[in-house]
Amino acid sequence: MHIISGGNDAEQRRDGDYLDHDQRYARTDAFLDIVCQVWTSEQPVDIHNDFYQAEQAWSAIRPLQKPHLPIYFGGSSEAAIAVAGKHADVFALWGESLAQTGETIQRVRAEAAKHQRDIGFSVSFRPIIADSEAEAWEKAEHILHVATEQAAQRGGGFKAKPDSIGAQRLRATAAQGRVVDKRLWTGIAQLVGGGHNSTALVGTPEQVADALLDYYDLGVRNFLIRGFDPLNDAADYGRALLPIAREKAARRAVAERAS
């Protein structure tokens, strides 16, 4: 279950939610306290906190996984990291640079250690692959050209989300250049203001698999990938990218066990 605490303040208010950024994460903390308690308690429980009140809360339906189904969570603010350290089983990141990703992993692990917890990590990318590296970069530039034209037809670019720390971090990644760490392409992130999963790894399947393994070496074990041409890209990933990436990850795992 992936928990999202909310978007920016304006979006939340359109839905009638007037809590500010840190209050939303406090509410998420309270919600997860309750959910995990109800999932695992053998008896009905009474719940009283700043956000929720319940008497004799109980569920006959229990998660198959023990102690409960995995909780995925993301967010780059201090409030988000604190909730993640307490509750998350897997912390989800957007595709930032290797240095930024390593720094966030260290922050989250330090917070999780306060609760005597281990935590996994997931990173999201939009891989762009082709038979040759030159073709892959041409494909990336075509995607950016089409997206730029579409933005112009809508009357301008995309609005950045100034109160999203994650968006601010992606803009910081994009500010490092159109290409970061050899294969991390920020063209779409620059266009959309870093507001969502918008960075790509560009190259041949072998090159992109190697780039994914760089994140694996930082501690990432889950990769969420989607393309700009969802159906055809999914087929290409399954045919060309995933077999190579899985083989390389398996070899890494064997080497880790042997060391």
Query: Where is 203: in which H helix or E strand?
Result: strand 200-203
Instruction: Answer left, alpha or beta for residue 180, where phi above 0 means left and psi between -120 and 50 means alpha.
Output: beta
Same domain, 168 and 117: no
Q: Identify which of 166, 2, 12 has the alpha carbon closest to the alpha carbon of residue 75.
A: 166
Same domain, 162 and 112: no
For range 204-208, the mean pLDDT: 99
User: Where is the domain boundary, 83, 101, 123?
Assistant: 123
Give the pLDDT band of residue 158 (cuts 50, 70, 90).
low
Q: pLDDT value at position 155?
A: 74
Same domain, 94 and 207: no
| Cβ atoms of residues 204 and 133 within 8 Å | yes
Tell me which of 115-124, 155-164, 199-208 is least confident: 155-164
Does pLDDT of 27 surpass 60?
yes
Same domain, 116 and 137: no
Dist. CA 42–CA 247, nearest whole Å: 43
Indicate which CATH number applies to the domain containing 190. 3.20.20.30
pLDDT (tens digit per residue) in 90-144: 999 999 999 999 999 999 999 999 999 999 999 999 999 999 999 999 999 999 9
Domain residues for the domain of 18 are: 2-123
Same domain, 115 and 129: no
Same domain, 141 and 114: no
Query: Where is 255: in which H helix or E strand?
Result: helix 242-258
Same domain, 91 and 118: yes
- The tally of domains found in the chain comes to 2
Same domain, 153 and 111: no
Beta partners for residue 200, in sequence order: 185
Same domain, 46 and 170: no
Q: pLDDT value at position 90?
A: 99
Same domain, 99 and 152: no
Q: What percentage of the chain has pLDDT greater than the value 90?
A: 85
User: Where is the domain boundary, 63, 90, 123?
Assistant: 123
Does a cis peptide bond (omega within 30 degrees of 0) precede residue 70?
Answer: no
Q: Which residues of 56-87 are buried (b: 16+ CB within 10 A; e: fewer)?
A: ebeeeeeeeeeebeebbbbbbbebbbbbbbbb
Same domain, 20 and 89: yes
Does pLDDT of 173 surpass 60?
yes
Same domain, 134 and 215: yes
Dist. CA 226–CA 196, nearest whole Å: 13
